[in-house]
Chains A and B, each alone.
Chain A
Amino acid sequence: MMTAICFAEINPPQAGGVFPEIELLKSSNPVDLTYLGLSGSGIFKIQQVKADVVIIEIFSMYCPYCQGEAPNINNLYSLIENNPALKNKIKIIGIGINNSLFETDIFKNKYKIAFPLVPDEDFKLHKIIGEVRTPYFIVVKLKGGKTEVIYSKLGALGDNKAFLEKIIKSAGLK
């Protein structure tokens, strides 16, 4: 019985599956809200982001690999924002595991990150998404209020252009 219960762990969302209905804290920065097509304060769900695809980076301010990967993700953000065909279709959100707002803000300022970073101070979101190591990337396709995971992987993204081509193809973006 003990084994059965102890091994009833939650696995990370896998490609082809749905993304769990996590509640994220809205940023108080109007630029972040505009970027995601949101307004007001409180919480939001991934399904409410005004986009076709959301790239979610699970990171921590304290994670050396996340620190090393930050410039690459900034480059990915620029590639998307500078492409009129992708700009309003693909958005990026970072979730800072066991990071307070103070800590995600430090990470944002240190690496001049333009996309929103959401704190997950008490591991609440981390537990729901399978207690993954960092950095971990999940790409979610949004359609009609439903979600479909099209990418779920631990570690650096590698070549940004190849990654973008892959998710454009998987999401059926034109």
Chain B
Amino acid sequence: MKIKSILAIFISCIFAQSAYALSEAYKNNIYNPGQLKPVDSVLKVKVGQEAPYFILKAVRGGMISLKDYYGKKNVVISFVPAAWTPVCSDQWPGYNIVKDIFDSNDAVLLGITVDNIPTLYSWTNQMGKLWFDVLSDFWPHGAVAEKLGVLRSDGVSERALFIIDKKSIIRYIDVHNINQRPPLEILVRELEKLKIR
């Protein structure tokens, strides 16, 4: 019994240590929430249906709507759960060096979290100059995430990717394990599928 208890503690300790390669760019300013329930919401949309309308405040100022890209660009939406957390902080900076991939697939990227604009401004400043827009789904809190079915029970969004084509049709959804970064190659492969449609 004692050995079983020790083993259980040992295993829980191993899994409590979230392995992530956190950039020194953030110094000691990252809050580590530990391992979370991989998915904590129920999708309200599906591939093939029209994406719901939304308009959100952008960190660079002004409002951005999905309609802005209708008939012009494919749209990749990257929801990340929260600013100043481990995996999220090491996701968008990777997208920041692959603008050419988005361009070659006639796509824009919109990063969204439920954080407010000042928080997003401070956080994304640590990532260098981002080529894509970052939007705040802070108020009404998580309304867009809720509309899509990616708002978790604790008020943050899932780590989720949506690809929406030029006709506003959802072509790909990945509600990813919140503790892990989605592999870039899968997103690229899905984007390239839009070319052959």
Contacts and interface: CB of A to CB of B under 8 A. Distances in A.
A64 B20 CA distance: 15
Contact of B94 (A9, A103, A123, A131): A103
B97 A67 contact: yes
Contact of A134 (B6, B21, B127): B21
B9 A133 contact: no
Contacts, number: 89
A97 B25 contact: no
B154 interface: no
Interface of A: 1-2, 5-6, 9, 58, 60-68, 97-98, 100, 102-103, 106-107, 110, 123, 126-127, 131, 133-135, 154-155
Contact of B126 (A64, A66, A131, A133): A64
B91 interface: yes
A110 B97 contact: yes
Interface bracket on B: 20 to 34
Interface of B: 6, 9-10, 13, 16-17, 19-25, 90-91, 93-94, 96-98, 126-128, 181, 183-185, 188
Nearest to A61: B94
Nearest to B11: A5
B23 A62 contact: yes
A63 B93 contact: yes
Contact of B128 (A68, A110, A131): A68
Contact of B90 (A62, A102, A131): A62
Given A1-B9, A6-B13, A64 B181 contact: no
Contacts of B128: 64, 67-68
Contacts of A155: 24
